[in-house]
Every structure is written in C-alpha cells, then in structure tokens.
Structure 1
Amino acid sequence: MLPHQQGTDHVRRALRNLLDESPALVGRTHRAQQSYWYCTPAGLAEAAASGELAPTTGRTTGKRAASKTGLRGHGLALVDTVIAFHQAEAADRADWQVEGAHPTPAGSLVPDGVVLLADGSSAFVEIDRTMSYARLVAKLERYDAYRNAPPSGRGNAARAPRSHWQETYAGPALERPFPPLLFVFAPAPRRAAPGTREGAFHNRARHVGGVNYQITVATTTLPLLTRHGADRPVWRVVGRGEDRYALAALPKAR
C-alpha cells in the first residue's frame, strides 16, 4: 500500500504473505489490466505492520488502517461475504467476479459480485450498508430490465438469438433460470440495524415486477451469514414470508 495509493477506494498491493492463510485474507479481481485487492481488517493490519503505511501514533488496527487508506466498509463486507461462502463450501473464493458491467436497455447494470456456486449455477450478490431503499429498489428494477433485455445477435438455424444473461448464465440448452439475486445487509454507523433494513426492503421489493416469479430475490444479514454460514437457512425470500431458506432450497425462478 504505497503512499500515493492511500487515497484510493481499494487496496491494490498484493499482500503475498497472506495468500496462504486459510481462509485467504485477500480477494482479487482484474480491471483494465490492473489488480485490485480487497483486504480484510487483518490484511490491513498486516500492511500497516510492514512499514509501508505512514507512521501513526498508538497501535494500528485493521479498522484504523482502513480509515487511513480510504478503504470503504462496503469492500470489507464483500470480503466477509466471500469468506462465508468459501468456508461453507458453497463457492470457492476464486469463483467471484466483482463489479462487472451487464448491458440493459435502461443502462449498464453493475452487480457488487457474481458468484459461481458449487452446483455450477451462478448468483448475483449485492451488499448494502448505506444505500437508500429507493436506490435498492431501483437496482432491483435494473435487474428486471436485464432479464427482459431483447436478444442480441441474429442466432442461426440451430439456435434462436439469446439475451446476454441467457448467453452468460443459462448454459447451452437454456436449462438454468435467471440467477437468484442475493442481498446481504451489513452493519453501518448511523444506520438502522441490518435486520430492520432487511424487513423494510422486503416490503418494497415484493411490488417490483417479476419478483417471486421470474426473479428470485433472497436476503440475509451479514451477522447471520458469518455466524451460521451461507449454506444454512439464513436466506429470506421476497414474497415468501419470514421463513429462512438454505441456499440450495431457494425457489427457482420461472
């Protein structure tokens, strides 16, 4: 973490000595031929101990290092989510794509993450800490626009033209439905508790077209996810009451 990088949103230096930790303390994605590293508080504390951060008074903690480098809590919550999936063997830590753009008629859709699950299917993942309910619902509507996007390309005699999501996630024979959308509500200062925000989101999301039929929307809180695991009954499905489902038991979209 070089001095001129401390003002950026994401930590970009590879902390190689943390790669052998179990679970790994860093995650990696490529963007424009540059590597971006999303570190846990433990990784940030390790970077501070390396001497490459500007000296500070007192003991440097991961939280303090995060504030000094500009790393947002959103990134830390995303890493905690990746680790929860990895520990539950629901998805390998390497099988994540972060902030990849998806085309829709309403503009580009940028999920916080797309994960390849252990069963070979995919899921979209959104982390919420500080977004308003209106913005959360607007993003959900953007997913509906992505699902409804017209086919791209002309197809051929053997195969009709397919939309971007069908080409990317449905497989060659369209055997998979639209990937489920997983919202993880994380704690944040001066915000309502994650469980409170989760409930308020359900009240609004169930009115979005396609939800509970063409799109499966499931939610959890980061404390529940990290305490019990991504594969346990921690997921509440929009339109299905307050019951919690295991990841493998989520209802399939039509």
Structure 2
Amino acid sequence: MWKLTRPDNRHDKLVRDNLLDLEDHDLVRIESVREDQRQVWVLTRRGHGEAKDLLEPKGIRVSVLRKQEYAPDIGELLGTGYDDHAAAVTSTAAELHRAGIEHRLGFQTEIGHRLADGYVQRADLVVRAPEAGVPVMLLEIDRRTEDAHDLVAKLRRYWEWGRLLPKDAGKHTVDLVRSRPDAIEHVDHEQRLWRRVYPPTGREGLVPVAFVFADTTEEKVANTVAVLEEAGRRYWAPRRYESYYREAITAKDYGQAVPVVVTTLEQLQEHGADAAVWRRLGRTGEQTLTVALDNPDGDVLFRDQEARADAEEKQRRVAEREAQRPVCKRCGRKFTDQRWEETTAHRTAWSAGDVSVCGTCYADDVAREEAAEAARLQAAAPPQSEDDPEPGRGRGWIRRRA
C-alpha cells in the first residue's frame, strides 16, 4: 500500500503509523517479514469485511481474505509463499500508477478467465487506463519461478479465452463456430465473450498481455522472451492480409492476435512505466507502452495500401483499354466509346457499316449514301408538263359545278 499510495515517498513512516493504528483496532496484521526487513501486512477477517463494505459498493473489488492458518506439525504460518510475488505485483501497480497509467484504486488482481474446459486462468494484475491510451491490459508478474513454457501456456489460454462466445450467443453464430475450428475468426469481436468483460482496446486484436519479470537476471529474461517469441508465435504473431493485391500489401493482420509486451520491474522502477522500457514480441528495441501496443503496420496501413493498389489497378486497366482502342483507317482518329461499342457489340455490329472507320467517317458515308439515293429517285421520276394544271384543281371545280 505504501508503494501504491506514496510511490515517490522514500520513507514509509506515515503508512506504518496508520497500519499500527489499524492493527490496534484488529483490522490488519503482519503476515511476514521480507529479507529486506520490510513487513507484509494483510487484512484481518474484520478488516476484510469493513473493506468490502467500503469499497465494493463503489465498484472496487477486494481481494480474497488471507486466512491465518498454521502447519499442524511445525506450527509455521501457511500461505506466505506468495509474499514476494505479491510484493512484485504491488510494486508493478505502483510504477504504473506513478506514470499515470491507471488510478490507484483501479487495479484488480487475480482476475479469473474461465476457459471452455473449466480451467480458470488468473491474471496477476488487470489495468484499465483509457486516459493513458490503455483501455485494458492483463499483466503476468514472473520472478522466474515458472518455466518459460509455462508462460507460453498462459499466453495460449488468454488467446483461447479471447476466442470464446458468450453463453447467450445466437444459434447461427454457435453453429458457425462449431462447423470448423477457425470459424470464430469470422465472428466480430463485439460478439465474443471478452467484450462482455472488458472494454474495446482501441486497437486490432485481443486483450493485450504484458509479462513483467522481477528479481532475475537479464540473461534469464532474454532466454524466456526468446521462448515466448518462438513457441508462442501462433498466439501473438499477425498474419498476412487476404487481398487481391497480395504483392502490394505489406500491412499485417493483427485481428486474431494477442498483443504481447515485456519489460522488467527494475526497468519500471529506474526509468518509469511511461518510458521506452516495453518491447513488443516480434519487434526489436524498446518503446513506450502505447507505441508498443499500437500497430502502425496494421489495418490503417492496409486500407491505405489497398486503396492505392486499387487506384493503380484502375489506371492500368484504363491504359490497357486505351492501347486496344481502334484507330480509323481513313482519318487516323481513335474511335469514341460509342463507336467502339457499335462496331463490337453483336446487337449493333451488323448495322455499323464499315467497322474500320470512326463514327465521323461513318456519318459521312451515311450522308453520301443518302444524297446518292435522293439523286437516283429524282432522276427516275417522270417529267411534269408545264400546261398541266396544278394537281387536283380541275377535278375540284367540276365537282363543285355538278
């Protein structure tokens, strides 16, 4: 609590005095003393009850009561084996809070994620800091007490949990997912279980996971990260986009991946959680947290590249069409689209005349033909006598007189 509430205070006298006062009221107790002589305090049953009454109505979850149990044979206090781990978790939360990543009461620990087979994968720490650009992130704090492949198994479980459907999912969606193993990838994230639990991440993919290593050597961290990167590639690595313009697309599809970042508690304490101390699996070098979580080569780049490739493809097709456009054998001008269609379409080609000439030349041909036909008709008509009355006039007079 001292590290979380007073991260910049090097002296814990104020916190210690308050803990002693709470101890006098049977609200807290000392569970153990660490190697550096710092004391680990926990809530008593009475203190745990009061904390729940105070915090849970405000939406703040209280951890499980640490019962005071002793080994029957040696009388040693049980349940203290995770003290160093719990301290590392609290220290990580304190460093995140000091960097402005989450409010001190916004952290949650030991949050369970139930898989389809009933196994519950518990996150050491859950951070929700939308103001800092991290709407949600799951953290695993490892003091190198676990094998690297155990961490890969945890990553796999988070990936599997992100692919589950809620119990009230629609029948059509359930049938689709049951039809084949990868069908869930065609179900939008908004219809999956994880979106009922956590807010949208603001980025592609599933809920990001951070591995924070503490109390270990750089060599061990490097070896563990190498195993995570290689053995866990299926779960964190992006894929190629399925696109017609495959060669023009270098963007990567992060839609089904778990973004994974790694750092050490020592780096967080030395440089701060807002510094460039986070490394994203699949990348080299360290970045700030939000930059590490962002996907500059993701969907935004894909849309841009696809739009550019689409425009270039249209230009190429136009150029190819222009190269094929017929040229009038008489005047040398290119056919218009209308004349080109007239000479090639089955419904109009039979009446298009000379299909080797353009529309203008064809119109001249039609005009000449019409003029020649008019001259022929005029030449074939009998000559009219000058003495003949106008047609119809004489007959009209006779009828009126009769």
TM range (shorter): 0.5 to 0.7
User: What is the number of residues matched between the two proteins?
Assistant: 211
- Among residues 165, 184, 208, which one is paired with 2:212 in the alignment? 184
Partner of residue 108 from structure 1, selected from 106, 120, 131: 120
- CA distance in 2 between counterparts of 1:232 and 1:20 reads 19
Taking the TM superposition and a 5 Å limit, the aligned residue runs for 1:1-254 are 22-23=6-7, 61-62=37-38, 70=80, 72-106=83-117, 107-117=119-129, 118=131, 119=133, 121-129=135-143, 130-155=145-170, 162-171=191-200, 176-177=203-204, 178-187=206-215, 193=217, 195-206=218-229, 207-208=231-232, 209-213=234-238, 214-241=257-284, 243-249=285-291, 250-252=293-295
SS at match of 1:210: helix
- Superposition deviation, residue 170 in structure 1: 4.2
What TM-score do you get using the length of structure 1 for normalisation? Answer: 0.68
**Structure 2 residue matching 1:123: 3-state secondary structure:** strand
- Indicate how the Cα distance of structure 1 residues 113 and 235 shifts in structure 2: closer, same or farther if over 3 A, else same: same
The structural deviation recorded for 1:138 is 1.1
Any idea what the Cα deviations from partners look like across 1:29-74, whole Å, max 9, x if unmatched?
xxxxxxxxxxx9x9679757968659x9xxx931588998936100
Q: SS state of the match for residue 79, structure 1?
A: helix
Q: Cα offset for 1:127?
A: 0.2
- Higher mean C-alpha displacement, 115-124 vs 217-226: 115-124
- Give me the CA root mean square deviation: 4.0
Give the gaps of 5 or more residues in structure 2: 43-75, 173-186, 239-256, 300-402
Deviations 1:94-149 (A, max 9, x none): 11111111122242111111110233610000100111112111111111111222
Gaps of 5+ in 1: 1-14, 26-39
Separation of aligned partners in 1, 2:171 and 2:114: 22
> Does structure 2 conserve the Cα–Cα contact (< 8 Å) formed by 1:104 and 1:142?
yes
Structure number with the bigger relative contact order (C-alpha 8 A, sep ≥ 6) is: 1
CA–CA distance in structure 1, aligned partners of residues 170 and 191 of structure 2: 7
Post-superposition shift, 1:156? 9.9
Distance in 2 between residues matched to 1:197 and 1:126, nearest whole Å: 16
Q: Secondary structure at the match of 2:294?
A: coil
Moved over 4 A (4+): 18-21, 42-54, 63-69
Distance 1:234 1:81 in 2: 13
Percentage identity across aligned positions? 24
What do the CA deviations read for 1:137-165 (whole angstroms, capped 9, x no partner)?
Answer: 111111111122234313599x9872221
Shift of the 98–21 alpha-carbon distance from structure 1 to 2, 3 Å rule, reads: closer
CA distance in 1, matches of 2:270, 2:8: 18
Higher helix content, 1 or 2: 2
- Report the CA distance shift for 1:72/1:44 in structure 2 as closer, same or farther (over 3 A): farther
Normalised TM-score (structure 2): 0.45
Q: Which has the larger radius of gyration?
A: 2
